[in-house]
Chain A
Amino acid sequence: MVAQESHQHAAPQGFIRKYVFSLDHKVIGLQYYFLALTAVFVGMFLSLLMRIHLVWPAAALPLLGVIKPETYLSLVTMHGTIMVFFVLTTAPQGGFGNYFLPIQIGAPDMAFPVLNMLSFWTTFVAYVVMLAAFFVVGGAPLHGWTGYAPMSALQSSGPGEGLGADLWITSIAIFCIASLMGALNFITTTLDMRAKGMSMFRMPLTCWSWFITAILGLLAFGVLLSAGILLLMDRNLGTSFFLPLGTINGQLTGHKGGSPLLWQHLFWFFGHPEVYIAILPGMGVASQVLSTFSRKPIFGYKAMVYAMLSIGLLGFMVWGHHMFMSGMSPYSAFAFSVMTMAIGVPSAIKTFNWLGTLHKGRIRFHSPMLFAIGFVSLFVSGGLSGPFLAQPALDIPLHDTAFVPAHFHLIMGVAAIFGIFAATYYWFPKMFGRMMNERLARIHFFLTLIGTYCVFMPMHYLGLAGQPRRYSQLTELAYLHPLMGLNTFMTYAAIVTAAAQLIFLFNLLWSMFKGPKASDNPWEATTLEWTTATPPPHDNFAGRTPVVNNGPYEYSVPGAPRDYVMQTDPAAVAAH
């Protein structure tokens, strides 16, 4: 608790210190959130261009004209990179984690407010550098978000592989530094800043998910940072970490002795935990929201915690399942495969426990709950295609086909985004002091749920039929021609789904200023953020320090005066 004393900094007065270079975790959380909000619309716009080009390759688009094959691959690269780093890593952890971790554990701020400010602004610099790649000669890189060497390591492997690729990898390296700073802060805050009575096993599952995500980030981003620096050296300083003797269009590259597979090992050692960095906070939010709106304690709280811990642990032992076709030792595929299948176990535990939470509940269908239910559905759908890809024998037909993007879009894309939506609708009243419009939220929910299923379920069928990923046109291979109709359907679905996001954007911006005023605890929830004012004051609890007497999800306690017992209420039940 000594640590807490040193964080009692006074509320700043000037605009710059209050809203720009703020030390307040709440302001920093909102900064992260709005950065991710702009990024998600950029990323979505790029994906629309891709879908339109795939089915109408000759169409001249306003401003852009006819999309060239290299432009298409730039879209592929930037869509993936922006979505993974600046949306799925940024919004759930940097955004909501920053805003609500300290409040949910009863702390006045993060452990290191200056570091927190630095990590946001470093992320911002990374974002600007990434976007700059669009505007340099040659444009953005073509090598996909995975940046496989030698393609990413050679300036001559294609347009966009010059300055654009340098900016791309520099941005990712800067992003890694920002994420490392953030991860340190989250871990320290969780371990050192909890209020009296807030034992680890009284933390809301959201805090557990942010805590575990931070540990994954601390272990994973350092590896990507190193790999990124090596790649920059290969590109610009003549080293050959990832480059064997080779030629491009008959010209010797001047490199020799390096290993292209080394990049893949380093990248996926980061890349697979990154998947869980994106989805774990969504799991936390889904648990929080399902419990709140079912008016029931979460089913199997400790099982949920252990499941998340084992997902995090196993997540570091499975990176090779991205590489079954890469030329690495086929024997290692056995180990990677069985570990990957093992992740299905904690994932299934979580699903069962979410269903268990709904069972015999009294469900209230507010907008956060709709998205949490959608999250569970998408998590099941996206999760169950995993055991196909986890088997090396099935990767022979499926690897690098549309089946793979179908799988990971459903789970780490759409499910994670549904987690972000659930969190937005759930915490919006606390963050902005106003309620969002429920009618618009419902329209947004159903259009998005149906729309994303219409885009990504057919993508599995394309993958089965053998449609390769990252093809800018589907006209060259005769066996792809019968798939054009399905592809066209998916493009229409994508356009409708994207349009539905404008409803969300309108609802968000309109409600910030015009929504009806929110009370301190509009959802009748139990965790600490609902015990303080709306929006919370600068030090979160207006000078008092909360004392925690109850677990995080005490709903419908028999004999209690209300159907929820807040964490700060007098102890309602004996420890269980």
Chain B
Amino acid sequence: MGLVILCVIWLITLASTYFFVAKTWWLPAGASAATAAIDHQFAVTFVLMGIIFVAAQLGLGLFVWRYRGEASSTRADYSHGNFKLEIIWTTLTAILFVGLNLLGSPIWAAERFRPAENGATRVEVTGMQFAWYFRYPGPDGKFGIARPELEDPSAGGEAALGLDPADPASKDDVVTGIMEVPVGREVEVILRAHDVIHSFFVPAMRFKQDAVPGLAIHMHFTPTETGNFEIACAELCGLGHYKMHGMLKVVSQDEFDKWLAAREAEKQ
């Protein structure tokens, strides 16, 4: 029985580890400035936890087989523990876990502790059951007033966001269903939600942040590659949660300027 348990635990361990090491399924390819640091921290954590995982499971299997009752006719070792060992492994694990934490802290700080740079592309992202809307401030650089009582999701576009036509600043605001941004420049995201909590998740940008009714959350990310990247909703928001997706289009600065100018022209 000891040998059977050893085999089963070792097989489970090796199979599990194989698919991690072979990266059969892995983080999606990143296309943002944050990717390198986050993926590196993930890799460091993965290697350390992986070593402990393999060592502990192999050790467990080995002990179970090695100290099976049939193996010896003498009594078990009479021991209540070893104080020195307790101190050693308490200290080592404390250093490991707290150290790992400190190692990852600067990455979090870089993502969350500073506001977006001056000159970042500003996009307001609004989640509602079950769509994402994107708003650009237009030539005046100001987001106009949006009023909850004016929201009309069935009409889509500006009406869905409840833009107040009486406010001059809202006249030139551009509202779209896909998010287009230029490559290589920071994007300032202002996250809002109308109804329930949604979460703006762009796996390729290593970006995730909940959009919470009542809050305007300012975030930033910098796309480093052009292309189309899927946006998912990551916070349960109702029966259409699974189909609340969108598209992030990262294009060259020229292409973006042309696209935005065309959208703004449509407003005139």
Which residues of A come within 8 Å of B, CB atoms?
Answer: 68-70, 73, 76, 142-144, 148, 150-151, 154, 157-159, 244-250, 252, 258-261, 294-301, 303, 325-327, 330-331, 333-334, 337-338, 341-342, 344-345, 348-349, 351-353, 355-356, 358-365, 370, 373, 376-377, 380-381, 384-385, 387-388, 390-397, 399-401, 442, 446, 449-450, 453, 457-458, 460-462, 464-466, 468-474, 476-479, 483, 486, 555-558, 563, 576
Contact = CB atoms under 8 A, between A and B. Distances in A.
Given A150-B196, A252-B148, A380-B57, A294 B67 contact: yes
Interface string B1-38: 11011001100100110011000111110000010011
A479 B196 contact: no
Given A363-B2, A397-B38, A486-B25, A158 B239 contact: yes
Contacts of A248: 129, 194-196
Contact of A247 (B20, B74, B195): B195
Contacts of A465: 25-28
Given A157-B196, A297-B78, A380-B56, A391 B63 contact: no
Contacts of B74: 362
B77 A360 contact: yes
Contact of A342 (B26, B28, B97): B97
A471 B102 CA distance: 34
Nearest to B16: A457
B249 to A, nearest CB: 14
B140 to A, nearest CB: 26
A563 B74 CA distance: 10
Contact of A325 (B75, B149, B209, B213): B209
Nearest to B45: A388
B104 A466 contact: no
A365 B8 CA distance: 15
Interface stretch (B164-172, B173-181, B197-205, B254-262): B197-205
Contact of A73 (B96, B196, B206, B241): B241
A473 B242 contact: yes
A39 to B, nearest CB: 23
Interface stretch (B85-93, B117-125, B182-190): B85-93
Interface in B81-128: 81-82, 85-86, 89-90, 93-94, 96-98, 100-101, 104-105, 107-108, 111-113
A208 to B, nearest CB: 16
Interface residues of B, number: 103
A473 B86 CA distance: 48
Given A377-B9, A461-B25, 20 more contacts: A151-B197, A247-B148, A294-B67, A300-B82, A337-B108, A356-B82, A360-B67, A365-B68, A388-B49, A391-B41, A391-B45, A391-B104, A397-B206, A449-B8, A464-B25, A465-B28, A469-B234, A472-B241, A556-B75, A563-B75
Contacts of A333: 108, 112
A359 B67 CA distance: 7
B196 A151 contact: yes
Nearest to B65: A363
B240 interface: yes
A400 B208 contact: yes
A248 B127 CA distance: 12
A399 B101 CA distance: 17
Closest 9 pairs between A and B when the two form their complex, measured CB to CB: A244-B214, A461-B25, A360-B77, A330-B112, A300-B81, A393-B107, A466-B203, A365-B1, A70-B239
Contact of A365 (B2, B239, B242, B243): B2
B132 to A, nearest CB: 13
A387 B49 contact: yes
A385 B49 contact: yes
A553 to B, nearest CB: 8
B248 interface: no
B213 A400 contact: no
